[in-house]
Amino acid sequence: MTTIAIVDYGMGNYHSVERALRHAAPEADIRLCKLASEIDAADRVVFPGQGAMADCIRTLDEAGLREAVVRAARNKPLLGVCVGEQMLFERSEEGNTPSLAIFPGQVKKFQGPAFATLSNGEHSTIEHLKVPHMGWNPVRQVRPHALWAGIADATPFYFVHSYYAVPADAQLTVGVSDYGAPFTCAVASENIFAVQFHPEKSAEPGLRLYRNFVDWKP
């Protein structure tokens, strides 16, 4: 039986993730894990997060789980969700917070006006962005990946966020959405896949992504 650890460090919607995973993979052994030893023992790891970046990093360290997450990122399938994706990068503009530095890149805040591209190639300001960005947005699959299996390109997923990852390596980006301008909303490398949106709030496509994660053999 596959054991899936959901990293429980006090800053995530763990029970929603747990319910979605149980629905998507009823045969799996899904556990909310507060101990590094439990994460180390699991076959797969889901790393969710919500709230302010500085608080997430602080509580992760206080829970003694930073190194367990880093170890998991090195040697087993890991799925980052929302701030769990952002924490994989080097630093966030939110409080100028250093993070786990598993991926090269920064986390930046949405700001400024939204633009519409005119037929002559110029731009026209149409509205200021509302922050946080909340709601359903299509996700364009810019690179094939096993976790996109059975999910159509441009399928909408549910977002709630004010910040987004900007990878230093463009090859990390496997999914893009638009809010004022295109932004990276899914990244992947070897045994890691991470998304800015919430699969557990994204109906059947979100459940399919969780199922794909359970079946994934990186």
- Is 200 one of the catalytic residues? yes
Instruction: Read off φ and ψ for residue 159, nearest 5 degrees.
Output: -120, 145
Q: Which candidate, 24, 21, 119, 23, places its Cα nearest to that of 32?
A: 21
C-alpha distances out from residue 13 to 32, 47, 122, Å: 11, 11, 42
- Is 94 one of the catalytic residues? no
- Is 23 one of the catalytic residues? no
Strand ranges inside 71-132, DSSP E: 78-81, 91-92, 97-98, 105-109, 113-117, 123-128
Q: Which candidate, 155, 184, 182, 157, places its Cα nearest to that of 171?
A: 184
Q: Which of 56, 94, 161, 198 is catalytic?
A: 198
Q: Which of 18, 85, 94, 200 is catalytic?
A: 200
Q: Which of 82, 94, 161, 185 is catalytic?
A: 82
Supply the Cα-derived Rg of the chain in whole angstroms: 17
Q: Which residues belong to the active site?
A: 82, 198, 200
